[in-house]
Structure formats: C-alpha cells, structure tokens
Amino acid sequence: MITRKLDSLLNPENVAIIGASANKESVGYALMNNLIGSGFDGTVFPVNPKRNNILGVKAYPNIKDVPDSIDLALISTPARFVPQIVEDCGQAGVKGIVLISAGFAEIGEEGQKLMEEIRKTIKKYNMRLIGPNCLGFINPAINLNASFANKMALPGNIAFISQSGALCTAILDWANQQNVGFSYFVSIGSMLDVSFNDLIDYFGSDSKTTSIIIYMESLKDARSFLSAARNFSRNKPIIILKAGKSSEGAQAAMSHTGSLAGNDAVFDAAFRRAGIVRVDTIGELFNIAQALSMQKRPRTKKLAIITNAGGPGVIATDALIANHGELAELSSETKAELDKQLSPNWSHNNPIDVLGDAGPEDYAKAVELCASDDNVGGILVILTPQAMTRSTEIAELVSKIAAKTNKTVLASWMGAEDVAEGEKILEDANVPVYDTPEDAVRAFMLMYDYSRNLRILQETPPKIPLKFSPKRQESLDLINKVLANNRTTMTEDEAKQLLDFYEIPVIKNGLAKTKEEAVELANNFGYPLVMKIASPDILHKTDVGGVVLNITNQDKLEHAFINIMKSAKAKMPNADIRGVLVEQMIDRKYELIIGGKRDPIFGPTIVFGMGGVAVEVFKDTTVGLPPLNMALALRLIENTKIYKL
C-alpha cells in the first residue's frame, strides 16, 4: 500500500468533481452541494464541459484544464466514459480517485472489461481509487463530505467501511440520531483498487481511529486482509457484519458486488484467527464498538446479573446460555454478605433479584460484592422503572463503582422517558446502556469473544517434543500414483498409508483381495475387526452394504467378506473394487471427522468435528485455517460440542 497516496485521497487539500451538475436530481449536484456545504476548507473544482460555473463555483471542461495539482477527483459519469476520464486524471497528476459510477463488474463481462482498462490506467499513473459503485466517503475531522449521502457524519473515533452504499445512508441517519461519531465513513464499493486491507492498514496508524466497523458482502485477497486485520486487532477492535450467510443471501451479495460471498463457516474461522469480532445485526455493530471503547474487556464469560425484576433476569439468563456464556457461581462469602445487606426475600442466587422496592444502596451493595468476587467476569445491572425506583440515584452509584472495578459493567435501563436521565448518567460514565437485557448479554459475549480471540493471537504455543521425520518422497509418490489414475480421492487404505508416512497413528489395517488374505490379516491383528469395501468409486460405503462391524471370529469374517463383495458388486456393478479393508475395531462411543478442503477465497481449510454416519444430522463441525500450532488446534477442537464429551 502507498500510504502517501491514500493520505492524499482521504485527507485532500482540494477536490475535483468530474460530472458536477446544477441539476438537483443528479448525483453530480449532490456531490457538489455536499462538498461546498459541509465546511470543507480546501478548494473545490467542478468539471463539466457544458457549464461555466456550478453553484457559483467556476467549472472546467476537463480535469486537465484545472490549474491546480489535484489530490482527489470524484467521478460521477456514465460508465462508458470513465476509462478516458481516468486516463485524463492520470495525465493531470491526480493522486486519488473516488469512482461513484456503477455499471462495471456487477453487470457482467462488458463491465468487467471497463474495470480492467481502468485498473491498468491507475497502475500506470500510480493513482489510488475507491469504488466503483460506491457512495463516496466522509472525513468529519476536516469537514469533508465527498459523498452523495444526504447527511454529514458527526466526528468521532469509529472508522466505518461498507460495501453497500445504500446501507451507508441508513446507518448515517441512525448514527446522527444516536449521536454516534466517526473518524472516517467510507463506502468502498466493488474494490477495484483500494480494499478492506488497505483501509485497515491506514486506519491502524490513524490516531483518531479507536475501532473499525465493517459491513462486508465479499472479500478479495483474503490473506492480505487477514494480515492487516491481525495487526490492527491486536490494539484496536475490528467488528464485522458479514452478509450472505444463507445460500440465497450469498447469491444476492454476488449480484450486488460482482464477487463471491464465500463459505460462511470459513469466514467465521478466518475472523476468529484474525482477532475479529463478528456480529449478526446492524445494531450489534455499534453496540459492541461502543462497549469496547467504554469498558474493560471481560476475562471470563461468567456473568453476574443484578435486577429488580424476576422476568428480565430470566430473559438475560436465557440469552446468556444461548450465546454460550455462563452464569457466575457466586462465592459463599458473596452470598453471605448479600444475605446481610439485602432484603431476606432476595433470590439467594445468580441472577441476583434485589426485588422491586430495591433502593440505590441495595443496588450498590450487590454491584460492589459482585465486583470483588473472583468468580465473576462481568456484571449486568438491570433496572425496571417501578413506583419506588430511584433510577438516577442508582445510575450514579453504579457509575462510581464501575469506574473503580476491573470488571466489565453493562446496564439495561428498561423503559423510555422514566429512565432517560439515568441512562445518560451511565453513558457519561462510560457504562454502556442497552434497551433490552438480551442486547446487553450479546454485547458482553461479543466482548468476551474479542478477548478470547486476542489471547489466541498473543499465545505462545507449546513446543512439540517429538522428533518428526515425515516420508515426503513416499507421500508424493502415492499422491502422484492416484493422480496418474485420474482420481481425485484416495481409497481408505491409501489415505491411512499417507497418514502413516507423516507419523500420524492409525489402527492396524490391511487390504484383502481374497477371503484367505482376510483370514491371514485377522490372525495377525486379532479380533474384533471391521471390514469395509475398498474402491475408489465408492465413497459412502454403508450405502452399498460395504461395512460390517464387530467381527469376532473366522466364520463371521469369511461370511462378511463374501457379503460385502456381493452387495457392492450388485449395487455398483461398474465400480473398481480392489478388495476389502480389514482393520482393528476400536470400541469408542463417539467418532470424529478430520478433513481438508480448498476454499475459493481463503485457500486450504481444516474441518474437525463429530463424525460417523450421523455427521450430516448433528452438523457438529468447525473450520480452521492452516497452519495450526498446538494452541490453535486446541482452540479449533474447543469450538465443537463433542469436545465437551
């Protein structure tokens, strides 16, 4: 990345608008009006061959006629004119371009050709380009609205990047209403040049930016993205809403951006590996960004819930368990103190129901005791406005305790007008406040996920004490043999041979082409045994009657051999049957699956989880990105349900 060029683009001293217009219904007018109306101190140069001035500003027929050296050019013209305009920009010495226009890769082959032509031109002239098919960007710190959004962003510390321009306008409207500010607000479009990783790198060195939130539909250059994200997320959080989880959503994303949306499970794995927090809703994007900027990160996922109403406490508990959190087990000392300080009718457990008539001191004592309990990782304080509830006084006391503790403190002040003043007190004291307990719990768990992901980034894995001498040449010979036979899958005996070459333990096994060979193998291995059909054409062996378990003697062995061969030949007469695989039977309650797959975006991936015939039923698998060290392998395993078994 050329940082100097990005700096000229995102922090320009002057801006040219190619396609500027006096027509109030046009994008060119909106761009011009936003630039001169936002308080930008730099010079604005409208470019339009048919006008002498636009909105009272002198216009130029061509970018090459502008008398100044241009930092940033905004282009809003029909797509067919853009390649020549970009060439003109290069000749004029323009440093950066925001290409607003649509009609490129998202429309098919013709648009892709235009993009390739533009890509060659910007490379020739060493220019940077955001877009195409984007809204533009806003830099509130210099009062620059280089977009056709109908509002100016408030200044703040969040950098926002979105692949959807229309979503930008909705979020901007919401953010202004909620008083949420931004360091940068960027609609990135189809990423012909400037990509997520470029902006992450740039924002990482920007002192105004404390977090990045991203709306993502697709991704290019995945490895560079992960590298940039890892570097940033070690110090500042990256929160991503990745659309296209469903197959239908992925198809919609592809038609929108012209790029693959990708496998959702692989994106999950990649985000975890890079220390990224993934959210599911637009609201969560900002909830977690604000929470991480206000509060300490939780060290554990054990939450203490304090409430003056039973129902919200139950709702919070359900949300906590659904999000894989845990109720903190209060120490006996904490419970004893709560017995002394609270009404005799308090819940005597977590959630701590301080009852509807609880006063400020009741809340304060409960929060203080939870804050000093080593079993507690975070505290959620819930308040419902009842007749005797003094919400502002409670908020003041909770704020004071939150400022002194090293525990995460979140609040849910349920209601509207009756709790508004208390909410403001908490927020001013950097205690995040949520409308519902579910939102608060979700924010807590996302904060914990970020902490956990950071620990993974910072962990030093234990060294593997074993000497490791894989038989690389034998492995290559085996793989080449399979490929020479025009096969893309190995038989089970070949796969186990490959594992053995890499010193991965496998059970005793052998290939029997005859009944007599099967008996000989059985005498060597001992009983009980398993027998499976061996054929490169039969992947799902049980479907053809190709598996027999728990063979305990020679008579059963001989019958199994005959039946397996007969059944497989009957159901798949054209299959290449090599014989029957004979192997020791290991009596285990659970089966595991470990596999690999090449993802079109991220490359090689590793799959781990519950195996066996029910693998498609339980769907208890997780995905990781190689290379894995011992620590990362353990984290991968921990992401499955079978790990707990």
Tell me what the mean pLDDT of segment 228-243 comes to.
91
Contacts of 345 (CB under 8 A, 6+ apart): 355
Tell me what the mean pLDDT of segment 46-67 comes to.
95
pLDDT for the residue numbered 466: 64
Question: What tens digit of pLDDT does each residue of 583-638 get?
Answer: 999 877 778 888 888 899 999 999 999 887 666 777 888 999 988 888 888 889 98
The answer to whether the beta carbons of residues 642 and 632 sit under 8 Å apart is no
pLDDT at 307 over 60: yes
pLDDT for the residue numbered 262: 54
Q: Is 476 inside a domain boundary?
A: yes
Distance, in Å, from the CA atom of 118 to the CA atom of 130, rounded to the nearest integer, reads: 12
Q: Is 429 inside a domain boundary?
A: yes
pLDDT category, 545, cuts 50, 70, 90?
very high
Tokens found for residue 101: 């226009």
pLDDT for the residue numbered 287: 87
Q: Are residue 607 and residue 621 in the same domain, yes or no?
A: yes
pLDDT category, 259, cuts 50, 70, 90?
very low
The answer to whether the beta carbons of residues 297 and 211 sit under 8 Å apart is no
| Domain boundaries, position 632 | 592-644
Tell me what the mean pLDDT of segment 247-251 comes to.
53
Residue type, 321: I
Q: Are residue 312 and residue 197 in the same domain, yes or no?
A: no
Q: Is 467 inside a domain boundary?
A: no
pLDDT category, 94, cuts 50, 70, 90?
very high
Q: Are residue 158 and residue 272 in the same domain, yes or no?
A: yes
Lowest-confidence range among 237-251, 328-342, 579-593, 598-612?
Answer: 237-251
Q: Are residue 222 and residue 254 in the same domain, yes or no?
A: yes
Q: Are residue 313 and residue 278 in the same domain, yes or no?
A: no
Distance, in Å, from the CA atom of 75 to the CA atom of 94, rounded to the nearest integer, reads: 12
Q: Are residue 187 and residue 142 in the same domain, yes or no?
A: yes
Q: Parallel, antiparallel, or unpaired for β 579-584 and 529-534?
A: antiparallel
Tell me what the mean pLDDT of segment 474-496 comes to.
91
Average pLDDT, rounded, for the chain: 91
Q: Are residue 515 and residue 451 in the same domain, yes or no?
A: no
Q: Parallel, antiparallel, or unpaired for β 53-54 and 57-58?
A: antiparallel
Q: Is 260 inside a domain boundary?
A: yes
* Last residue in a domain, options 458, 492, 518: 458
- Residue with the bigger pLDDT between 165 and 397: it is 397
User: Shortest CA distance to 536 belongs to which of 495, 491, 574, 572?
Assistant: 491
State the total domains in the chain.
4
The answer to whether the beta carbons of residues 580 and 521 sit under 8 Å apart is no
Distance, in Å, from the CA atom of 302 to the CA atom of 320, rounded to the nearest integer, reads: 9
* Last residue in a domain, options 238, 268, 290: 290
pLDDT category, 104, cuts 50, 70, 90?
confident
Q: Are residue 159 and residue 94 in the same domain, yes or no?
A: yes
SS3 assignment, position 4 = helix
pLDDT at 261 over 70: no
Confidence (pTM): 0.82
Distance, in Å, from the CA atom of 394 to the CA atom of 199, rounded to the nearest integer, reads: 42
Residue 499 sits in a domain whose CATH number is 3.30.1490.20
pLDDT category, 256, cuts 50, 70, 90?
very low
Q: Is 180 inside a domain boundary?
A: yes
Q: Which residue has the tokens 């234990």?
A: 462
Q: Is 248 inside a domain boundary?
A: yes
Q: Which residue has the tokens 């034998």?
A: 474
pLDDT category, 257, cuts 50, 70, 90?
very low
The answer to whether the beta carbons of residues 544 and 568 sit under 8 Å apart is yes
DSSP structural state of residue 623: E
The answer to whether the beta carbons of residues 223 and 266 sit under 8 Å apart is no
User: Shortest CA distance to 294 belongs to which of 429, 467, 142, 496?
Assistant: 429
pLDDT for the residue numbered 632: 86
- Residue with the bigger pLDDT between 540 and 340: it is 340
Q: Are residue 574 and residue 538 in the same domain, yes or no?
A: yes
Question: What tens digit of pLDDT does each residue of 196-220 get?
Answer: 999 999 999 999 999 999 999 988 8
Q: Is 27 inside a domain boundary?
A: yes
Q: Is 464 inside a domain boundary?
A: no
Distance, in Å, from the CA atom of 340 to the CA atom of 292, rounded to the nearest integer, reads: 34
Tell me what the mean pLDDT of segment 547-569 comes to.
95
Q: Above pLDDT 70, what percent of the chain? A: 95
* Last residue in a domain, options 245, 262, 290: 290
Q: How far apart are the first and last CA of the chain?
A: 47
Residue 430 sits in a domain whose CATH number is 3.40.50.261
pLDDT category, 465, cuts 50, 70, 90?
low
Lowest-confidence range among 437-451, 495-509, 554-568, 586-600?
Answer: 586-600
Q: Are residue 19 and residue 77 in the same domain, yes or no?
A: yes
Contacts of 605 (CB under 8 A, 6+ apart): 266, 269, 596, 597, 598, 599, 623, 624, 625, 626
The answer to whether the beta carbons of residues 96 and 13 sit under 8 Å apart is no
Q: Which residue has the tokens 């693959």?
A: 260
Question: Which residues of 337-453 form beta strands (DSSP E)?
Answer: 352-353, 378-383, 408-413
Q: Are residue 79 and residue 127 in the same domain, yes or no?
A: yes
User: Shortest CA distance to 82 belongs to which of 39, 107, 117, 110?
Assistant: 117
Q: Are residue 279 and residue 314 in the same domain, yes or no?
A: no
